[in-house]
């Protein structure tokens, strides 16, 4: 029996009669799937960088243009902290401590603009996200990434440290 493609499943879901979705069940399912994907990316990072004490996992989020009800996460283990960008979540993996440090999340550009325009209306549960957006806008996330990567930050220009002085 041939498995259905994401496009077929998306189309079928859009044709179904809209039934109320149990938010708790959907959220629990999404968290479990995401957790499994994150752990797989960490395992791949440990295999790729076996001698490194720290590496990062970058989650790039994409909403399909045609299938608006499909959101994809691409989790990429990498040796350096990525430059902050829209639709991105970053984790710092400290191998010796077996620690997963959540560094930041940035939503889409339009969502960031919405939060910035409506700052006074942001509820307490979303203040951390707003702070990430503010830190992104002001260059603090870029400075943090450069600090993690051992780079210097001067006047908005990243300079690699000269260790041969």
Handedness of CA 151, 157, 162, 165 (dihedral sign): negative
What predicted TM-score, i.e. pTM, was given to this entire model?
A: 0.74
How far apart, in whole angstroms, are the C-alpha atoms of residue 155 and residue 142? 12
User: Cα 105 from chain centroid?
Assistant: 5
- Residue 53 contacts residue 94 (beta carbons within 8 Å): yes
pLDDT (tens digit per residue) in 98-144: 999 999 999 989 999 999 999 999 999 999 999 999 999 999 999 99
58: left (phi over 0), alpha (psi -120 to 50) or beta: beta
- Tens digit of pLDDT at every position of the chain (165 positions): 567 554 555 445 545 545 544 434 444 555 678 888 999 999 999 999 999 999 999 999 876 566 445 467 789 999 999 999 999 999 999 999 999 999 999 998 999 999 999 999 999 999 999 999 999 999 999 999 999 999 876 545 555 555 544
């Amino acid at each position: 029996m041939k498995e259905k493609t994401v496009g077929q499943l998306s189309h079928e879901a859009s044709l179904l009669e809209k039934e109320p979705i149990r938010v708790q069940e959907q959220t629990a399912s999404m968290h479990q799937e995401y957790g499994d994907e994150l752990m797989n990316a960490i395992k791949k990072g440990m295999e790729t960088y076996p001698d490194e004490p720290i590496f990062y996992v970058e989650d790039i989020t994409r909403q399909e243009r045609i299938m608006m009800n499909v959101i994809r996460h691409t989790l990429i283990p990498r040796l350096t902290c990525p430059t902050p960008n829209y639709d991105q979540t970053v984790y710092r993996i400290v191998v010796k401590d077996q620690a997963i440090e959540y560094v930041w999340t940035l939503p889409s550009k339009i969502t960031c603009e919405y939060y910035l325009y409506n700052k006074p209306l942001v509820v307490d549960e979303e203040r951390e996200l707003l702070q990430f957006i503010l830190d992104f806008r002001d260059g603090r996330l870029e400075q943090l990434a450069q600090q993690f990567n051992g780079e210097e930050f001067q006047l908005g220009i990243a300079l690699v440290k000269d260790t041969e002085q």
